[in-house]
């Protein structure tokens, strides 16, 4: 009896998702451990692999809404492996031994469409294959950074951002020629984001206060110690670690912001798990830095870099996203000069960072050009008063402008 392939559970609160692109066509022979498809939910995206080898039969189409536990495919273990697999492998070894043009012959003997997918086509995950097709990039033009040269989703996005040239993008099937508009279904993640943003505005008394910070001292520190920092910790010293430390200090000075409302009770947090918003091609994700007060600067940078990679590769899990007490979001990486961030419930505070601009400012009676950044603190006025919000933001400003204060704990 064929083995059933079911949509796996990815969290207690998740009941359905959308079946992503199939990585193996209907009727193909799959090996144990090979990726079959990707399921996208309102929180995470997960890959589903074959538990055993056999012939694959699709029971659902890409783009279908599927329930957790639903059978979407079957694998016939009794099906014989393709006879041409062994000769093909032997031929590949022979070509390598003889020093012949392996790539040319492989493309000539490959199935239709395989050559266009590049030399690592067999290793492409559904997310990677979808991105290459959507962005019109030839996988063979991408240098994979994964194990054994495997192409990751981040490699595709980097190639797209860097203007890598591949095959011309295919025309969208959702927009017939001559039509002025097209429609597509919102992804579960985008639906969830929309619902949370609307809920935050309707159910909280959000208010935003602003300030600006001079980043001269941070820039001087980074210039002075960057090489030594990289040599010792194998990661660059960025701006975000300074702001994470400043936020933790601010929460310690103003505990009211490190709290949340639960019915008619105030839940005071005595820990400092800081969410850092990361933009992905599917939407905004907020992984959490656990116990940020105990992390070193290098620890913060490594945690953020690790989450960013997981987000690009579609490997973020529910555990990564749960339990933050405060959020940092940096619109400055996209050039935003000023904005009013929306709360991430049930948190009652979020700090928006913005682009760094050299501006004339008054310093001790003189006008100087300094690297300045606007900060925006949005808070829940039901729990936090204006005085507390301004005190918190002023504390963040003081720590960022005088980073030595963090080390001296003053």
| CATH of residue 120 | 4.10.320.10
The SS3 of residue 244 is helix
Examine the domain organization and report whether 219 and 313 are in the same domain: yes
Check residues 282 and 324 and name the one with the higher pLDDT: 324
Q: pLDDT tens across 329-339, in order?
A: 999 988 999 99
Examine the domain organization and report whether 214 and 337 are in the same domain: yes
CA dihedral 313, 319, 325, 329 (to 10 degrees): 10
Of 133, 160, 185, the domain-final residue? 185
Does a structural domain hold residue 105?
no
Residue 85 has pLDDT above 60, yes or no: no
Q: Crossing angle for the helix pair 216-233 and 297-312, nearest 10 degrees?
A: 80
Catalytic residue ranges: 381, 385
* DSSP class of 2: P
Give residue 242's pLDDT band: very low, low, confident or very high (50, 70, 90).
very high
Examine the domain organization and report whether 210 and 311 are in the same domain: yes
H or E segment at 344? none
Q: How many domains, in total, are found in the chain?
A: 3
Does a structural domain hold residue 125?
yes
Q: CA 47 to CA 319: how far, in whole Å?
A: 17
Q: pLDDT tens across 25-48, in order?
A: 888 999 888 888 888 776 677 778
Examine the domain organization and report whether 253 and 349 are in the same domain: yes
Find out whether 349 and 379 touch, Cβ atoms under 8 Å. Answer: yes
Spatial neighbors of 20 by CB under 8 A, at least 6 apart, are 37, 38, 39, 40, 45, 62, 126, 127, 130
Does a structural domain hold residue 176?
yes
What's the pLDDT at 367?
97
Closest to 46 (Cα-Cα) out of 313, 314, 319: 314
Q: pLDDT tens across 149-206, in order?
A: 778 767 776 777 665 344 344 444 455 566 888 887 777 777 777 887 888 888 889 9
Find out whether 160 and 135 touch, Cβ atoms under 8 Å. Answer: yes
Average the pLDDT over 4-24 and give the result. 78
Find out whether 370 and 359 touch, Cβ atoms under 8 Å. Answer: yes
Q: CA 220 to CA 239: how far, in whole Å?
A: 12
CA dihedral 217, 220, 221, 226 (to 10 degrees): 150
Does a structural domain hold residue 97?
no
Burial class (CB in 10 A: 0-12, 13-18, 19+), 364: exposed
Q: CA 404 to CA 410: how far, in whole Å?
A: 9
Examine the domain organization and report whether 48 and 195 are in the same domain: no
Q: Which residue range(s) make up the domain with 165? A: 113-185
Of 185, 215, 245, the domain-final residue? 185
The SS3 of residue 217 is helix
Closest to 200 (Cα-Cα) out of 284, 320, 273, 316: 284
Print the SS3 string covering 99-127: CCCHHHHHHHHCCCCHHHHCCCHHHCCHH
Does a structural domain hold residue 398?
yes
Of 185, 209, 225, the domain-final residue? 185
Examine the domain organization and report whether 213 and 170 are in the same domain: no
Q: CA 151 to CA 137: how far, in whole Å?
A: 12
Q: CA 73 to CA 5: how far, in whole Å?
A: 5
């Amino acid at each position: 009896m064929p083995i059933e392939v079911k949509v796996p559970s990815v969290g207690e609160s998740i009941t359905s998702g959308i079946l992503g692109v199939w990585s193996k066509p209907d009727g193909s022979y799959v090996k144990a451990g090979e990726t079959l498809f990707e399921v996208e939910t309102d929180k995470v995206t997960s890959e589903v692999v074959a538990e055993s080898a056999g012939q694959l039969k699709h029971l659902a189409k890409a783009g279908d809404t599927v329930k957790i536990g639903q059978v979407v495919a079957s694998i016939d273990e009794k099906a014989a492996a393709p006879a041409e697999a062994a000769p093909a492998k032997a031929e590949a070894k022979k070509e390598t031994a003889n020093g012949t043009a392996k790539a040319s012959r492989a493309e000539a003997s490959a199935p239709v469409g395989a050559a266009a997918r590049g030399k690592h086509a067999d290793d492409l995950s559904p997310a990677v294959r979808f991105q290459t097709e959507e962005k019109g990039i030839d996988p063979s033009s991408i240098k994979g950074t994964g194990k054994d040269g495997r192409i990751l989703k981040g490699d595709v996005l980097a190639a797209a951002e860097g203007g890598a040239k591949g095959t011309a993008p295919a025309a969208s099937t959702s927009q017939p020629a001559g039509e002025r508009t097209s429609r597509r279904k919102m992804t579960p993640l985008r639906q969830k984001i929309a619902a949370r943003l609307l809920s935050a505005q309707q159910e909280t008394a959000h208010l935003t206060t602003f300030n600006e910070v001079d980043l001269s001292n941070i820039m001087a520190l980074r210039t002075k110690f960057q090489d030594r920092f990289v040599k010792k910790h194998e990661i660059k010293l960025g701006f975000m670690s300074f702001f994470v430390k400043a936020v933790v200090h601010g929460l310690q000075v103003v505990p009211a912001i490190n709290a949340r409302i639960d019915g008619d009770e105030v839940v005071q947090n005595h820990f400092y798990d800081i969410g850092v918003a990361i933009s992905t091609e599917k939407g905004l994700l907020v992984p959490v830095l656990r116990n940020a007060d105990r992390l070193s600067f290098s620890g913060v940078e490594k945690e953020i870099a690790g989450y960013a990679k997981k987000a690009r590769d579609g490997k973020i899990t529910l555990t990564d996203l749960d339990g933050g007490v405060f959020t940092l979001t940096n619109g400055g990486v996209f050039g935003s000069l000023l904005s009013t961030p929306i709360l991430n419930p049930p948190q009652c505070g979020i700090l928006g960072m913005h682009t760094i601009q050299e501006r004339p400012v008054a310093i001790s009676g003189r006008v100087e050009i300094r690297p300045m950044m606007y900060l925006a603190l949005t808070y829940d006025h039901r729990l936090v008063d204006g005085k507390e919000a301004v005190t918190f933001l002023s504390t963040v400003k003081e720590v960022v402008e005088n980073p030595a204060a963090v080390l001296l704990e003053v």
